[in-house]
Amino acid sequence: MERDLLPLFPLQLVLFPGTQIPLHIFEDRYKEMIGDAIAAGTEFGIVRAGERGIVNTGCTAIVERVLRRYPDGRLDILAAGRRRFEILGLNDDKAYLRGSVDFYDDDDFEPVPEETQRKAMEGFEELKELKGDEVEEPAPGHPRLSFQIAQPVEDLDFRQLLLATRSEAERMKQLAEFLSGYVSRERAIQHVREVAPRNGHGKLPVNL
């Protein structure tokens, strides 16, 4: 039925439940979609967009705050992730895409081994040190701590994997295994960015 269709916002990002994200809304169809969501206080779905279309799992969001309204109707908003969902079908009757969805949560509640959590937190602390103050501290004891630890990870394939995983213990295991290599790669990228503008003598290159 009409009321069961979830508005979908394809973006090149992966949102996690319980995390916030600022968004700039500028396309007319999404100004309409977000306007409807604000007026009704309802959710919309954020799904990752790729070269072959959208993926079939995403996370709903709700507008927590309108940060700025522009004269031409554009919006800056702060959205917060709520529920994960799987897309069952698509509907394009409106200017923006909607979908019939099935909401899901974890179905495996195996406790997280202490060693696994320790390794995941160590990886987070290394990543935080690399990225600086922009990284928020996770809340100890949170039932979905994995999503908070993974928030500074920019690898969309890995973020999508975590979003689809229905076990906190499995997500923490994936993080513990992934973060050490990821931090090393990010450290190398940062080093290249720092030295790239200079030549072998530590001076800025000459434009010829």
Task: List, in order of start, the domains of the chain with CATH numbers.
Answer: 2-104 (2.30.130.40), 114-195 (no CATH)
For the stretch 109-117, contacts whose Cβ atoms lie closer than 8 Å and that sit 24 or more positions apart, written own/partner, are: 109/167, 109/168, 110/167, 110/169, 111/169, 112/145, 112/168, 112/169, 112/172, 113/169, 116/169, 116/172, 116/173, 116/176, 117/145, 117/172, 117/176
Tokens 């968004």 sit at which residue? 23
Share of the chain above pLDDT 90, in %: 76
pLDDT at 180: 87
CA–CA distance, 110 with 115 (Å, rounded to integer)? 14
pLDDT at 1: 35
CA–CA distance, 196 with 188 (Å, rounded to integer)? 12
pLDDT at 13: 96
Q: pTM value?
A: 0.87
| pLDDT tens-digit series, residues 41-67 | 999 999 999 888 999 999 999 999 999
- Average pLDDT per block of 10 residues along the chain, 208 residues long: 81 96 96 96 96 94 97 96 97 96 95 96 92 79 92 96 97 96 87 65 41
17 burial level (CB within 10 Å; 0-12, 13-18, 19+)? middle
pLDDT at 197: 58
pLDDT at 206: 39
